[in-house]
Amino acid sequence: MARGVLKSLKTIFKTDVRVFVYPSSATGAWEAALSNTLSRADRVLLFGHGFFAVKWARVAERLGLEVDLVPADWRVGTDAGALRDRLAADVEREIKAVLVVHNETSTGVTTRIPPLREAMDEIGHPALLLVDAVSSLAATDLRHDEWGIDVTVSGSQKALMLPPGLSFTAVSEKALRASASSTLPRSYWDWGDMVRFNDKGFFPFTPATNLLFGLSEAAAMLEEEGLGQAFARHARHARATRHAVDAWGLENVALNEHEYSNAATSVFVPNGSDADHLRKVILDRFDMSLGKGLGQLEGRVFRIGHLGDLNDLTLAGTLAGVEMGLRAAGVPHRAGGAQIAFEFLADTPLESDG
Ligand SMILES: Cc1ncc(COP(=O)(O)O)c(C=O)c1O
């Protein structure tokens, strides 16, 4: 079974190299990505476009890395031009890794990775590219090898449809080479041990066997559906959600259409309303838990998750619950947003990819 799930993960991450599995939350995989590839006082660069980017930066700091955390607008993703300028200014090539969150779960903004890789290649900067795909994997196209990513980090509890408890690092040959000479202390996270054991179909410590069985089934479900079809399903549900949000007259946190998230939509409540009160009303009245505003968005936004094992009726129920909650909590909005989404879902069947 271990060999089977490790093989399936390579298909899901679109890599021919390796994916390592840890019994941990995704925060562990953040640490694994850094501690295997970097050495004390190495410089890393990231743009603070959201709660999870800032949290990853804190992990890097705690590990003893020098972190260039560039303050950034939470309503947009990482800009290739800004990255190019930063890297071009690094004439001594002190920056050893660029960290990017593919889908910022706190804002519902998806950064496009290929332009970032192109920017790095254009100026020939040798930094590693480390990508957090915790809430994008299996919901949004992600191509570890083709996009030249060195480490892709993810977790089990999002679009892989599993309970929390597993995390992953997909690696490139360059990242594996970096791990041979990097000196940050690591034990549990060590890729060297993983390689030796995985090659024999085992793990260097007790694996979370129950979750591996689940992962095996999740991979089979995704294979049956087709990854492309799963992305299309997520994109369609995200569109239906945005139709409802627009019709309610509420504002999406994500500003740019090409960065809208397939996985989650973050929505501002109007000035004078409290998003956490709205969430409480919806939880108490309809037993539905919406994501809270994180960090600087606390109290100002609620988040609708539309990823994983979701179908039209699950989404319809979700949007109906939000609309009833807006009304019950007295949040100013236009009625009928859920109805617009229902019409979109009814009129726009999911095309089969054959
Ligand atoms: C984008 C992103 N990165 C990292 C994490 C941290 O994952 P975990 O809570 O599994 O450690 C999350 C959690 O939601 C996330 O959404």
State in Å: Cα 334 to ligand 1 middle: 33
Confidence at residue 71, expressed as pLDDT on a 0 to 100 scale:
98
Determine the atom of ligand 1 nearest the C-alpha atom of 106: 16
Our mutation pick for probing the ligand 1 site, out of 51, 56, 135, counting the most ligand atoms within 8 A of Cβ, is 135
Residue 354: per-residue pLDDT: 42
Contact (Cβ atoms closer than 8 angstroms) between residue 62 and residue 40: no
At 240, the amino acid letter reads A
Mutate to test the pocket of ligand 1, among 52, 55, 131, 156 (most ligand atoms within 8 A of CB): 52
Ligand 1 centre distance from Cα of residue 328 (Å): 31
Provide the 3-class DSSP secondary structure of residue 43: strand
Smallest CA-to-CA distance from 270 within 290, 240, 250 is with: 250
How far does the centroid of ligand 1 lie from the alpha carbon of residue 181, in Å? Answer: 28
The finding on whether 266 has its CB within 6 A of some atom of ligand 1 is no
pLDDT of 351 reads: 82
Sheet holding 251-252, edge to edge: 251-252, 264-268, 301-305, 291-292
For ligand 1, say whether the CB of 134 is within 6 Å of any of its atoms.
Answer: yes
Strands 95-101 and 128-132: parallel
Please name the helix (run of DSSP H) or strand (run of DSSP E) that holds residue 323, with its range, or none: helix 312-328
What spacing in Å lies between the alpha carbon of 32 and ligand 1's midpoint? 14
Give the closest residue (by CA) to ligand 1 atom 8: 26
- With a 6 Å cutoff on the Cβ, whether 149 touches ligand 1 is no
Determine whether the shortest distance from the Cβ of 27 to ligand 1 is under 6 A: yes
Q: What is the mean pLDDT of each run of 10 residues along the chain (354 residues)?
A: 97 98 98 98 97 98 98 98 98 98 98 98 98 98 98 98 98 98 97 97 97 98 97 98 98 98 98 98 98 98 97 98 98 98 96 60
Name the E strands within the chain: 18-22, 43-48, 66-71, 95-101, 103-104, 109-110, 128-132, 151-155, 167-171, 251-252, 264-268, 291-292, 301-305
Distance, in Å, from the CA atom of 39 to the CA atom of 45, rounded to the nearest integer, reads 14
* 135 within ligand 1 shell (Cβ under 6 A): yes
Pairing of strands 301-305, 264-268: antiparallel
pTM given for the model: 0.97
Query: For a substitution probing ligand 1, which of 24, 27, 109 has the most ligand atoms within 8 Å of its CB?
Result: 27
For the CA of 27, the nearest atom of ligand 1: 11
Q: Residue 353: its pLDDT value, please?
A: 53
